[in-house]
Amino acid sequence: MKKSIIALGCLGILLMGAVLVALSLAGMYNGLVGKSQAVDSQWAQVQNVYQRRADLIPNLVATVSGAANFEKSTLTEVTNARASVGQVKIDPSQAPTDPAQLAAFQKAQDGLSSALSRLLVVSENYPDLKATANFRDLQAQLEGTENRITVERQKFNDVVQSYDTAIKQFPAVLMAPTLGFQNKPYFEAVAGAATPPKVDFNFGATQPAKP
């Protein structure tokens, strides 16, 4: 009788231990799912702001190309940079797990940022263009979008850091690969990339005399 009671007690303890382990694993899995979905959600937001910028470019190019003698090479550079962005195929709903894929995406987008920045700088030489309401509106929208891109990329890096840290912590590190949770790459910080173009349309300023 005593042996039966002891056996049942041991079995009960084992069952309770198994339940606790199962609950712990379920909590860990659900937590990783939540963090993974947060990364994917923020990735979609990054894609949204980049798409907003891409949508501004045709109207911007059309407006600028109407300026007399505007530098065609600058317009070509912007057009080609936008086309290069379109050639990088990446799922807008799921953050990439391949660092090379994200690096290619970032390189194309940063190249477009640089081309747009140069276009606005060249536009300083065209006061009639700067005076048009459409150009001023597009410039403001573009600079606002570049600001949002910077913010959303930083938010993306923040949620990726939280996710990557979670899958490397014990006990998740033992199960994460088996459950399909992979490390996700960050946007790399690039000096001068994805920052709002700084343009000073100060045509009336007197140029300093050359020594």
> What's the CATH number where 187 sits?
1.20.120
**Amino acid at residue number 141:** Q
Contact 109, 153 (CB under 8 A): no
Q: Is residue 103 part of a domain?
A: yes
Which pLDDT belongs to residue 198?
45
Q: What backbone phi and psi angles, to 5 degrees, belong to 145?
A: -70, -40
Q: Is residue 205 part of a domain?
A: no
Q: Is residue 202 part of a domain?
A: no
Q: Is residue 18 part of a domain?
A: no
Contact 192, 107 (CB under 8 A): no
Which pLDDT belongs to residue 38?
95
Per-residue pLDDT tens digits for 139-189: 999 999 999 999 999 999 999 999 999 999 888 888 888 888 999 999 987
Whether the full predicted model's pTM is greater than 0.75, yes or no, is yes
The domain containing residue 123 runs over which residues?
A: 44-196
Q: Is residue 140 part of a domain?
A: yes
Vertex 4, ends 9 and 10: CA angle to 5°? Answer: 20
Q: Is residue 21 part of a domain?
A: no
Q: Is residue 116 part of a domain?
A: yes
Which pLDDT belongs to residue 9?
65
For the CA atoms of 81, 84, 89, 91, what is the dihedral angle to 10 degrees? 0
Domains in the chain, number: 1
Give CA separation, 182 vs 8, 9, 22, 36, 134, in Å: 42, 41, 22, 9, 46
Q: Write out residues in the chain with pLDDT < 50, as ranges.
A: 192-211
User: Residue for token digits 């979008």?
Assistant: 145
Which pLDDT belongs to residue 18?
63
Secondary structure (3-state) at 144: helix
Q: Is residue 7 part of a domain?
A: no
